[in-house]
Structure 1
Amino acid sequence: MVSTVYARHIRGSNKENHRGIMRVIQIIDSLNLGGAERVAVNIANQLVDKIDKSFLCTTREEGLLKEELNNDVGYFFLNRKKTLDFKAIKRLRDFITVNKIGIVHAHASSYFISSIIKILLPRVQLIWHDHLGNRNQIKPNSSFVLKLSSYFFDKVIAVNSELASWAKTNLKTNEAIYVPNFTVRSKVDSYTQLKGVRSKRILYLANLRNPKNHLLLLRVFYELNENFHDWTLHLVGKDYNDNYSKEIKSFIKSKDLESNVFLLGQRNDASSIIGQCSIGVLTSTYEGLPMALLEYGLGSLAVVVTDVGQCKEVVSDYGFVVKSQSESELKKALVKLMSNEELRTEKGKAYNLHINQNYTAKQVISRIIDIYSMN
């Protein structure tokens, strides 16, 4: 029975706006602390008081971001076990039908199950949201399933302009639109107390995965440690305990950095952690539009980022943008900030104002609702 798959009681609503009745479900594979996952949660939350009913379905696993879902979001855990899980597909189809959902907003790799739903329910509008920063570098054969699924996409939302261009060229969809990410302050009550001096902490908010290039930052931080020995580096993100993670831990130990570098794992109180730091860093080799970059701005951090994805456009002149994989440029930028507290404060305040003026939930959600409404 459909009722057995409800994770929360789904309440009806007579709410309307000038765009008419609208019921939308965000679909994401997990609720772990990742960029695409946070975008899906943020959109679902922000839509609550702007459309008739906002839903979110996580298909494979739950996670810490579940705690940040608004209580008025219709939440559904599909518990899908495999790629072609026919029982799960039926449950999702029934959920969408019973709740009279008209728009399916699929994020990242959830496009496959969402395209099957489109085949079963042709009346729904299917929008795919692409978050992958290196999409244009993937071999064509690797995109076969995505390209096949794209025949059923009504629109594509991309987190940077390059992804939008790629979609227009490579996917079978009518429209591909660049819409920037946005971020909001976390409402989680937990509080992580960081070690070190409050005004001399560097933060890297990213899961321990290869594209994030933590070792570049670690090598530079090690070189700076002699002259900036009272500074600490805090790496916050999921540890997959794989070879990449082992390499990071091995470097920290071999360079005797255990008193200055701290691996904190997944944390759901990013806002409080950011508030205890003065510099935010992102050293990725590729990106879409990283949520961490926006969160740094909300927390008034001075930022240093690599020139990948949409990072340069977001940061503009309010922080330091360095060439990807360039130790010398990263070191030069960090030295400027670490040696000048006034500059850190000035850059942080200016960046905060920039983010609040250009990457707010109000602006982006209005754009997304416009896209939902487009014929």
Structure 2
Amino acid sequence: MRVLQLIDSLNAGGAERVAVNYASVLASRLEGSYLCATREEGLLMESISKDVGYLFLNKRKTIDLAAIKRLNTFLKQNNIDVIHAHATSFFLATLIKILNPNLVLVWHDHYGNSEFLESRPRYVLKKCSKWFNHIITVNAKLESWAIANLSTASVTYLPNFAQVDSNEPQTILKGVFGKRIVCLANLRPQKDHLNLLKAFQLVLKKHADWTLHLVGKDFQDHYASRIKGYISKNNLKQSAFIYGSCSDIHHVLNQSDIGVLASQSEGLPVSLLEYGLSKLPVVATDVGDCHKVISTEEEGLLVEPKHSEALAQAITAYIENAELRNVAAENLNAKVLSEFSETGVIDALITIYNSNKP
């Protein structure tokens, strides 16, 4: 079997990491594993296995005939059986499926605003879903939504998994060793960095030597400007730092002491699993499927979204109790290794591919 992972970009986001992880792991499990970035390359180029066949389309518009032709030619030249389209790449995948009716099309829904599904645009997606052979979702809410709203008979919730990268260390975090809080999240409104900064201000009142490190793509937009403005206005430039995207995530996390997510909405965040693999104690908001990763206080602390006081209290609890955070870090690491492992997810994924073959 030959499978192509289709993704719009290779920026360091959750869906992008999953696509790259799948392509790299499947290279040793299938006859052929391929990856296509449709619109933009990025940092995750460094993480693609050398055994993965790669194509960059440089797609410039919604219906780009030249890009469609290049992708279609690539599929035929490599005898690809399955196209696994991630997130918004479903539209291009549908056009390809129309041209190749025997191709198996699996769509992977990574929608991050799963707390606000009632306002999700669905018209085009529903039309395209008639062509999907199978839908994979990253949490149970998205699975239920797909069953109720889309036209695909087969839908499966498949949890994300994370891998420890082996990229060359290059990012050096600022601040005092042993007193660093890290947030691994692209600068998007749903990640609610502003709520995290408000909570961090409360933490600083008692623990002024701790620092906050924001790692994730800076889109240079209004939301990013608000974050930078808040840091400047509240005199946090010596305590809160923005790094942009980093390719050496494992190295970044090894320099950190507490992992945090302040999101208003999530699927199942890959960064949460990466914290667990790196043995970090975690404070996160109780959104999406975070509760499936952190199901007890012995595995981490969950708080309400948009509640800076609760977030600050949880972070402070870990700062003031090293034993508490060490126990949580060990337990979360064991949970991630046992329940969100690469082997279990990939076995289930291959079963999905095989069950949809003509």
Q: TM-score range by the shorter chain?
A: over 0.9
Shift of 1:137: 2.9
Q: Does 1:162 align with 2:141?
A: yes
Q: Which runs of 5+ in 1 are unaligned?
A: 1-21
Q: Does 1:69 align with 2:48?
A: yes
1:92-103 equivalences in 2 (<5 Å): 92-103=71-82
Shift of 1:135: 4.7
Alpha-carbon separation, structure 2, partners of 1:74 and 1:241 = 32
Partners of 1:204 and 1:282 within 8 A in 2 = yes
1:261-304 superposed Cα distances (whole Å, 9 cap, x missing partner): 11111111110000111110001110111110000000101001
Alpha-carbon separation, structure 2, partners of 1:304 and 1:136 = 19
Give the structure 2 partner of residue 306 of structure 1: 285
Given residue 373 of structure 1, which amino acid in structure 2 is its aligned partner?
A: N
Q: Does 1:362 align with 2:320?
A: no
Shift of 1:331: 1.8
Give the structure 2 partner of residue 185 of structure 1: 164
Alpha-carbon separation, structure 1, partners of 2:118 and 2:279 = 39
Residue 229 (structure 1) aligned to one of 181, 192, 208:
208
Shift of 1:253: 1.2
1:124-203 equivalences in 2 (<5 Å): 124-135=103-114, 137-138=116-117, 142-203=121-182
Shift of 1:346: 1.3
Partners of 2:114 and 2:266 within 8 A in 1 = no
Alpha-carbon separation, structure 2, partners of 1:351 and 1:139 = 32
SS in 2 for 1:204: strand
Give the structure 2 partner of residue 259 of structure 1: 238
Q: Normalised by the size of structure 2, how large is the TM-score? A: 0.97
Alpha-carbon separation, structure 1, partners of 2:222 and 2:103 = 42
1:223-372 equivalences in 2 (<5 Å): 223-317=202-296, 318-372=299-353
What is the root-mean-square deviation of aligned Cα atoms in Å?
1.2
Shift of 1:140: 6.5
Given residue 220 of structure 1, which amino acid in structure 2 is its aligned partner?
A: A
Give the structure 2 partner of residue 17 of structure 1: none
Alpha-carbon separation, structure 2, partners of 1:66 and 1:331 = 36
Q: Show structure 1 runs of 4+ deviating over 6 A.
A: none
Give the structure 2 partner of residue 14 of structure 1: none
Q: Which runs of 5+ in 2 are unaligned?
A: none
SS in 1 for 2:84: strand
Given residue 168 of structure 1, which amino acid in structure 2 is its aligned partner?
A: I
Residue 121 (structure 1) aligned to one of 82, 100, 105:
100
Alpha-carbon separation, structure 1, partners of 2:338 and 2:141 = 23
Given residue 316 of structure 2, which amino acid in structure 1 is its aligned partner?
A: V
Of 185-194 and 205-214, more deviation after overlay is shown by 185-194
Shift of 1:255: 1.4
Shift of 1:197: 2.1
Partners of 2:114 and 2:267 within 8 A in 1 = no
Given residue 287 of structure 2, which amino acid in structure 1 is its aligned partner?
A: V
Q: Normalised by the size of structure 1, how large is the TM-score? A: 0.92
Partners of 2:160 and 2:345 within 8 A in 1 = yes
1:85-123 superposed Cα distances (whole Å, 9 cap, x missing partner): 011111111111111100000000000000011100001
1:166-209 superposed Cα distances (whole Å, 9 cap, x missing partner): 10111110111000000101121132111222221100001111
Alpha-carbon separation, structure 2, partners of 1:303 and 1:367 = 28
Alpha-carbon separation, structure 1, partners of 2:113 and 2:188 = 14
**Identity, % of aligned positions:** 47
Shift of 1:47: 0.3
Alpha-carbon separation, structure 2, partners of 1:172 and 1:112 = 15
Shift of 1:73: 0.1
SS in 2 for 1:25: strand
Partners of 2:114 and 2:288 within 8 A in 1 = no
Alpha-carbon separation, structure 2, partners of 1:354 and 1:249 = 35
Alpha-carbon separation, structure 2, partners of 1:335 and 1:315 = 18
SS in 2 for 1:116: helix
